[in-house]
Chain A
Amino acid sequence: MGRGNPKVTGVLPVALEDAVKLIGYLMLSTKEYVAVMQLHKEVDLSKVREVLEMFKGRIYQKPPVRSSVKRALRVKEVYELELIEYEHPYALIRVLCEHGTYVRKLIHDIGDVLGVGAHMRELRRVRTGPFKEEFNLVRLQELSEYVYLWKERKDEDKLKKAILPAEYMVSHLPKVVAVDGAVSAITYGADLAVPGVALVHEKIRKGDHVAIFTLKGELVAVGIAQMHTEELLQSKKGIFIKTKRVVMSRDVYPPSWKKRKE
């Protein structure tokens, strides 16, 4: 059977310069795909629906031979699996799944359970974490055009609109806002203590990755919560966020220890 390489397109957030530091937080986020599954023999529509139902929830996956991770059996969660259309030999499906789920493998396994075999013909990622197909998706061709307008016509509007502030990369994380006086110390690697907190999201759990913002909405760093939100609200001191990854430059906010001397 001539298969060739499946066509793979869609949402691929590209981080620029210092935003590269935030990539790790995107990789662990929820993914959504639309895929074309080619069935090797015709089956009843009801049978396809029935088998797709079996692949919802926690599934076992062995990574494919040509993959970048260790080939040990992994448990992955498929949150949603929907049959959009089936017109033999093609079935269009939508998959909402945990990061690291192999859709190609999922389709192969669905084919095995159907008893007729199947392979992935086309794949389009429609979402990764906060990045969605419907919001500010830019084609390479368009980006190239915008760069031309900027360089040759001195018109930067379109390129500016195509680039989102890096803060968008952590918009799926819970947030805390630090007071101005606490910002500088965090950029030097200090943790965020309770007295430095201005605002906080509800339902933060101890151990969560939390994004630390300024009152102006600039991202300072990402860290790990050392207490739940409820505990913070009742505390006067102690460490709330252990700083892990600093993204803001050190010279943006004045150090509070200098201010005190003035």
Chain B
Amino acid sequence: MRTLTLTLAATAIAIALAAPAGADERYPPVSDPLTKKECGECHMAFQPAFLPARSWDRIMKTLSDHFGEDASLPADKTEAIRKYLTANAADKLWRSKMMRGVRKDWTPLRITELPRWKHEHDKEVSPRRWKDPKVGSKANCLACHRHAEKGYYDDD
């Protein structure tokens, strides 16, 4: 009986620690070293849970024209990264907020196109702040979210 009580208490604490009240903008950090290195050379390596698998698939198949840049990689690396990103994509998670309003026949290529991203940024961030040279681009999460690489986006 005592063991059961202890187990229940430990579980409750674990759940409380994992999801503190209000902290709902957390995404598992990039755990694959190759993905972190190759994607992270030009921009922060975005968490796979920000886009559905079909989006990552399309992105990894069009790297030679990656938003106007040649981001191509050797085929083996491309495939390894594609596998990691698609396996951990937003639509592989249970009730991902990033999937809200994303229709099944839509393959978004930019995280900034997603309704969830827009909802979180459009009202809160003025056009003037986007033009700040320290920000430079909407892909520069780290300009405002200091712990973005750890998947923590609640600091706004």
Chain B associates with chain A: no
Residues of B within 8 A of A (CB): none
